[in-house]
Amino acid sequence: MPGANAVTNDPASARSFVERLYASHHGEIYAYLARMLRDDELAADLTQETFVKAFRAFDTLEDHNRARAWLYQIAGRTALDELRRRKIIRFVPWTGESRGSASSAEDQVLRMRLSADLERALLRIPPRQRQALLLSELHDLTGLELADALGVSHVAARALLTRGRESLRQALAAERAKSALEESKRARVGAVARSQRRDDER
C-alpha cells in the first residue's frame, strides 16, 4: 500500500497517490465491476470512472491504509448507480474459495463454480446483499475493510452479509425446486415422444 497514513490535499500528491492505486488495484476493481455488471466493456469504462472519482474525492480518504476498501466503495456505488439507471441486475459465474474453515451449505456453494440454478438464485438477491457476498467471498474483504467498502458500520456489514447468505439459501432452494419441476416436465414430454415413435414404427 502506498505511502503513510496521513492524507494530503495537494493535487499533485493526490494524483500521484491515485496513480499508484491504479497500478496496484485496477485489475481487481475491473474484475469486481465485471461480475457486478456482466459487461466487460462497461466494466472497463466504470473502472476508469472509479479512479477519476477517487481523484476528485481524494479529500474523503481519511487513512491511506484503508484506500483499497475506499476504492471498492467508490466502485460499488458507481456500479449500483449504473444498475439502477439501466434497471438491470445481472451476475456471472465465478470459481473461488471462501476463507476460513466454515463448511455450511452456502459456503460450500460459494466455493464451487456456479450452477445455472445458483446463478439465477443470485439474480434474485437484492443488489446490496449480492455486493456484500462478492466483496467477502471473491475479493477477500473482511471486518472493517468490508464495512468501509459498503459504507456502513462493521455490525451493519456483518448483518448485510448474513442476510445475503440467507437470501441466497432461500433463492437457491426455490430455483432448485423450479428446475426439478421443469426437468420432470421434460422427462414426461420425452417419454410421450418416444412412445409415439415406437407406435409409428409398428
Residues 14-67: pLDDT tens digits?
899 999 999 999 999 998 888 888 788 999 999 999 999 999 999 888 888 889
Name the CATH topology of 94-202.
Answer: Arc Repressor Mutant, subunit A (1.10.10)
User: How far apart, in Å, are the Cα atoms of 127 and each of 70, 104, 133, 150, 174?
Assistant: 19, 23, 10, 12, 18
| Distance of alpha carbon 195 from alpha carbon 186, whole angstroms | 14
Residue 28 CA to residue 93 CA, distance in Å, equals 16
User: 0.75 exceeded by the pTM?
Assistant: no
pLDDT for res 88: 46
Could you say which of 1.20.1250.20, 3.60.21.10, 3.40.50.11610, 1.10.1740.10 is the CATH number of the domain covering 1-90? 1.10.1740.10
Most confident of 9-18, 149-158, 179-188: 149-158
87 pLDDT higher than 80 = no
Q: What is the pLDDT of residues 159-183, one digit of tens each?
A: 999 999 899 889 888 888 888 888 7
